[in-house]
Amino acid sequence: MSLNTYRAGPDEHGHFGIYGGRFVAETLMPLILDLEKAYTAAKDDPAFKAEMGYYLNQYVGRPSKLYFAERLTNELGGAKIYLKREELNHTGAHKINNCIGQILLAKRMGKTRIIAETGAGQHGVATATVCALFGLPCTIYMGEVDIARQQPNVFRMKLLGAEVKPVTSGSRTLKDAMNEALRDWVTNVGDTFYIIGTTAGPHPYPALVRDFQSIIGHEVREQMVAMEGRLPDTLVACIGGGSNALGLFYPFLDDADVAMVAVEAAGHGIETGAHAASLTGGRPGVLHGNRTYLLQDEDGQILEGHSISAGLDYPGIGPEHSWLHDVGRVTYVSATDTEALDAFQRLSKVEGIIPALESSHALAEVIRRAPTLPKDHLMVVNLSGRGDKDIFTVARELGVSL
């Protein structure tokens, strides 16, 4: 990979440096090769781009606004803070950008059944939504533990006509939901398309999801130039698997003056072991089709992640982030449950916007970082989702019964 650009990956084997790859069972290998072929063709097809553009505009409501958060900026007294309002998308998060892209790809490939994994339920809801839109049957795998803490999204998926299959194996959270979706895929190889919800999985998923989410960064670029006449100085996003962060960062990777900060979930604190910070607290391994940083013990057994936010507690991270981490292009930090909860409440009160607990991790970093920067420093934070789904969790944390 040439280092004149950070945007050349992955190579033809799906590698970003030593990360990525295609670590899947032989049964799935022909399927991901087909997917790669179909995606390569679709990517350069004007008809595909036009169709995506149509649904992103008319159905999702794009472009999402880049909003100057004046009150938050004044309170923090430093950098000028802009919110990229992905929470205003239909279904309330960035996840739908990717789902529109993948379901159009599924249709192109003649697939007639959709499966997906979900943690917080946002990707599940987005997948169920596009399946309703295109009239395709949809099965969502969700860990039993997550089902219990994300009831509103479970009901939403059912209303949208999806079948939600509780996953009872392993730790009964997102990683197990992904295992179960892979088991379904390996069993239903003929008709089924697996819509992966983040920049993870075997090649070509990490690249494909990144590309579909890159509309976030492309819009920010245009919007910021229109509003401020120049590029932003710092971009901030939270990291579960890494799709909202890469979507924002990717179009700026080669702009050397744009700093990028990604925020992992530190849970109860990195030192407690109860966290989901794969880069800060993990090491390279192989899971779910790719090599990347993973939370694992000495023997290579995968550990459970912990975060107050169900969308962040995945024990891995997309392979491109592992590479960007090692080459130092992106700075990776973490925020605890408590910091995220504080940020959640602060944005609600100061700007009248209730953010998702996932996005609140990015906001926590903004709250730490903005006061140290000059007033002409332009900082963009990806408000990846809205917090309605989290009010029960937050109420419980605050000792309020609803």
Ligand X SMILES: Cc1ncc(COP(=O)(O)O)c(C=O)c1O
- Residues tagged active-site: 95, 117, 384
Contact pick of 133, 286, 350, 391 for other proteins (by CB under 8 A): 286
Decide whether 67 or 109 has the Cβ nearer to ligand X. 67
Q: What is the dihedral of CA 345, 350, 355, 360, to 10 degrees?
A: -60
User: Is residue 110 a contact point for other proteins (CB under 8 A)?
Assistant: no
Instruction: Give the CA distances from residue 224 to residues 76, 284, 348, 370, in Å, rounded to whole numbers and listed in that order.
Output: 21, 36, 24, 18
**Chain centroid to CA 24:** 22
Q: Which of 4, 13, 47, 374 binds other proteins (CB under 8 A)?
A: 13
- Sign of the Cα pseudo-torsion (335, 88, 219, 10, in order): positive
DSSP assigned state of 62 = P
Closest listed residue to residue 308, CA positions, set 244, 377, 398: 398
Site for ligand X in 250-289 (CB under 6 A): none
122 binds, among ligand X, other proteins, none (CB under 5 to 8 A by kind): ligand X
Dihedrals phi, psi of 134, to nearest 5 degrees: -105, 5
d(CA 140, CA 167) in angstroms, rounded, equals 10
Interactions with other proteins, residue window 233-262 (CB under 8 A): none
Does the protein bind other proteins through residue 298 (CB under 8 A)? yes
49 Cβ contact list (under 8 Å, min separation 6): none
| Residue span binding ligand X (CB under 6 A) among the ranges 23-31, 134-142, 187-195, 233-241 | 233-241
Q: Is residue 306 a contact residue for other proteins (CB under 8 A)?
A: no
HSE (CB half, 13 Å, CA atoms) of 54?
7
Shortest reach from residue 30's CB to other proteins, in Å: 5
The residue (of 42 and 238) whose beta carbon lies closer to ligand X is 238
Nearer to other proteins, 90 or 113 (CB): 113
3-state helix, strand and coil shares in percent for the chain, rounded to the nearest 5: 45, 20, 35
In the list other proteins, ligand X, none, the entry touching 271 (Cβ below 5 to 8 angstroms by class) is: none
Partner residues linked to 236 by β-bridges: 261, 381
CB nearer to ligand X: pick between 80 and 355 = 355
**Interaction of residue 358 with ligand X, rule CB under 6 A:** yes
Q: Where are the alpha helices (DSSP H) in 109-234?
A: 122-134, 144-149, 151-159, 174-187, 205-213, 215-228
Taking the least distance from each CB to other proteins, the nearer of 176 and 365 is 176
Q: How far is the CB of 362 from ligand X (least distance, A)?
A: 9
* Interaction partner, residue 385 (ligand X, other proteins, none; CB < 5-8 Å by kind): ligand X
Q: Of 201 and 240, which CB lies nearer to other proteins in the complex structure?
A: 201
Contact flag: residue 200 with other proteins (CB under 8 A) = no
Measured distance CA(347)–CA(355) in Å, rounded: 7
Q: How is residue 232 written in tokens?
A: 């932003």
Q: Which residue in 240, 251, 282, 305 binds ligand X (CB under 6 A)? A: 240
Binding site for other proteins (CB under 8 A): 13, 21-31, 169-170, 175-176, 179, 182-183, 186-189, 285-289, 294, 296, 298-302
Binding site for ligand X (CB under 6 A): 93, 119-120, 122-123, 198, 238-245, 311-312, 356, 358-359, 384-385
